[in-house]
Chain A
Amino acid sequence: MIRAGIVGLGKMGLSHQSMVNVHPEIELKSVCDSSGYMLDVLSKYTGIDTYPDSRKMFDRGDLDCVFVATPSRYHADIVADALERGMHVFCEKPFALEPETGYRLAELAERKHLVNQVGYHYRFVAAFNEAKRLLERKVVGDIHHVRAEAYGPVVLRPKGSTWRSQKSEGGGCLFDYSCHAIDLVNYLVGRPVSVSGSVLNKIFSSDVDDEIYSTLQFANGAYGQLATNWSDESFRKMSVKISIWGTNGRINVDRQELQIYLRSVPDPSEGMVAGWNVRYTTELTQPVWFYVRGEEYSAQIDHFVQCIKSGAPALSNFRTASDTSLVASAIRADAAKARTTVAPGTHPAEAPQAIKPRRHGAQSFIRTLFGRS
């Protein structure tokens, strides 16, 4: 049995606790939270050992792995402590807020041969994995455009009292919502090499961003658009959708279904036809041992367990999550830059020529940010 602990009992921590507790290969030893209230209730009704401080919990020395689900700002210190003590770590997204910290922790985990995973659960949604498989087989040809969208109803009023509404705590739509879409883009088509035209806009929040838009450029010359908004009440819950255009067609994919339009059938063994092909979650999803709120949440925990057993690297690890934070940081930096003013008489007649030099300038700056020449 793998002995586990959980640090941070908010929405995600409690949700992990529910799944970890009944995983047949995990023994949940203890949980930790700064709220004595939550600890008292859990201890009284479930009998779990509770701690107010992660160091005290780790001092017991009886854990093989830990799930970290505190507010984002605390991730790095707790993760570093756990790694130093030789524990495998599953950390909630967005992992470390600064990419440099994330890469440093990735190196530490790799050096100590410890499994390191981040809760980008969309990597465990069957429809996105099927899309990835089809993209790797180039069924839609060469990719030239990607659209990544995430919408949902988190902030619908000008109030909010949790860490999610505070910039200093790692709150905001960029790290909460956009990172999921960015991570999927990185997973499906690779990390963008530059970002431009980025917008971080407030709708209801006073301290953080509520909607983020950006243009992404990829190594092969393809472009993409990111559009995320956590103040959209027309969605019942968070919805992430990726659309990918290639020379041979198009893929639309969300949690429920995968729609593939093919101009021609590159591989008859896939059983697809020219025109639209639709695959549903019901046929793609693999059963899980326990279901609370979506197979992907269960599947990522089981994946962590299987990686601990086999020593294989996790599908969503500290390095891939740091890549995601890197893109998010670039978007934030880009959004702070000056815009091209729209005003009569300020541009030569040929508009593209007026804009072009600026774009090149922005790109080289972003390349510097990404550490590429």
Chain B
Amino acid sequence: MDRVLFGDNQFFGVNHMSEEKARQQGMRFQDIRAVIQVLDDAYAENIKTFMCTTHERTAEICEHFRAHPQKYPDYKFYPCLPYAHKYANAAAELGILGAVRSFLPQDNAFGALLKGGMSLATKDVEGLAQLLIGAELKMFAGLDTPVIFLQNVATDFLLGLGFNAAFRMFADCVREGYGAEPGFITMNAPLLVKSLEKVGIQNPIICANINKIGFRMCGGMQAYDELITNGRCRMIAMSVFASGALPAQEALEFVCQYPQIESIVFGASSRRNIAQTKQLIERLSLN
């Protein structure tokens, strides 16, 4: 994995600090060309991995990259699925099973349709998971997706239930079906790694909040410190600025003190900000 990965929250109206800022960003990035411009800026700064939710608008971004392979010869996508709000909103409208049914393949693939119905009828969770993962990943067809992540809402929900078998199903599905490494986004990394080990997932790729103020680092700073330094996972640090609560230098000094952290994912909207953050990470990583 690259040292620096590019995140997508800013593009889809997600801002953990302010709804107003989220809305402004939503307006700015309404036109997909504005998103591509920022991704181009990041690419020019040598950031060549885009870690992104399977938001319906991501499909437009994928379309652009598929259409211009010569411009981005070595570009990687790290899809993060599912886009949870889509399911949550559908569950409120259709009920939980109705929501699952509505996201199963509905198109011409008769086999998939049949498989979906059969999986639902026989409570074949693994079969259902494969179909839902397939539906979410369809937009990335033809693009390089070496790591595929389970979003934190899904990861942490399953973790809480003790539905550890689902992690195994996810890992097997992305390895066997897509030749990708499974990754897990979480707000509860210390507990998650233990649960993954129980189902035989060793040294997993984990993407978790790592920030100086311990924002959304459940289990506590000490447990995170042990997890990182013991080398039981390949860690990607996210929310390193704690949604803007920390100044860049201070925030990155904290993260870069851990040589075990493989990658840092951040989102930004301006070339200047992208360049500064990237350079700061590189400078602090040398020490």
Contact = CB atoms under 8 A, between A and B. Distances in A.
Interface stretch (B41-49, B83-91, B252-260): B83-91
A274 B125 CA distance: 58
B160 interface: yes
Nearest to A153: B89
Contacts, number: 130
Nearest to A152: B89
A40 B123 contact: yes
B164 to A, nearest CB: 8
A45 B218 contact: no
Contact of A280 (B14, B18, B156): B18
Interface residues on B, range: 35 or more
Interface stretch (B61-69, B92-100, B103-111, B137-145): B92-100
Interface stretch (B208-216, B227-235, B271-279): B208-216
A38 B96 contact: yes
Given A237-B85, A289-B218, A46 B18 contact: no
A44 B125 CA distance: 10
B135 interface: no
Contacts of A187: none
In the A-B complex, the 5 residue pairs with the closest CB atoms: A18-B160, A291-B187, A282-B245, A46-B162, A292-B156
B133 interface: no
Interface of A: 10-11, 14-15, 17-19, 21-22, 35, 37-38, 40-42, 44-48, 153-155, 157, 159-162, 164-165, 236-237, 239, 241, 254-257, 280-283, 285, 287-293
Among A47, A162, A289, A291, chain B packs the most CB atoms within 10 A around the CB of A291
B188 A161 contact: no
Contacts of A38: 96-97
A11 B215 contact: no
B161 A162 contact: no
Contact of B160 (A41, A162, A290): A290
B161 A280 contact: no
Nearest to B14: A236
Contacts of A35: 97
Interface of B: 12-19, 22, 85, 88-89, 91-98, 123, 125, 153, 156-163, 165-166, 187-188, 191, 213-220, 242-245
21 contacts: A18-B159, A21-B160, A21-B161, A22-B159, A22-B160, A37-B97, A38-B96, A45-B165, A46-B162, A48-B162, A154-B89, A160-B94, A162-B92, A162-B98, A164-B92, A164-B93, A237-B85, A256-B18, A290-B218, A291-B156, A291-B188
A11 B153 CA distance: 13
Contacts of B245: 280, 282-283
A44 B22 CA distance: 41
A162 B14 contact: no
Nearest to A293: B153
B94 A162 contact: yes
Contacts of A165: 93
Nearest to A295: B216
B243 A11 contact: no
Contacts of B159: 18, 22
Nearest to B246: A282
B135 to A, nearest CB: 19
Contacts of A161: 93-95, 98
B89 A282 contact: no
A218 B217 CA distance: 41
A42 B157 CA distance: 13
A47 B245 CA distance: 41
Contacts of B162: 21-22, 46-48
Contacts of B160: 17-19, 21-22, 290, 292
Contacts of B216: 291
Given A40-B123, A45-B125, A237-B85, A290 B191 contact: yes
Contacts of A10: 91, 95-96
Nearest to A20: B160
A157 B89 CA distance: 12
A291 B159 CA distance: 10
Contacts of B94: 160-162
Contact of B163 (A40, A46, A283): A46
A45 B19 CA distance: 38
A289 B16 CA distance: 19
Nearest to B99: A11
A161 to B, nearest CB: 6
Contacts of B188: 290-291
A298 to B, nearest CB: 8
Nearest to A176: B92
A30 to B, nearest CB: 14
A255 B231 CA distance: 36
A41 B125 CA distance: 8
B240 to A, nearest CB: 13
A107 B17 CA distance: 40
Contacts of B14: 236
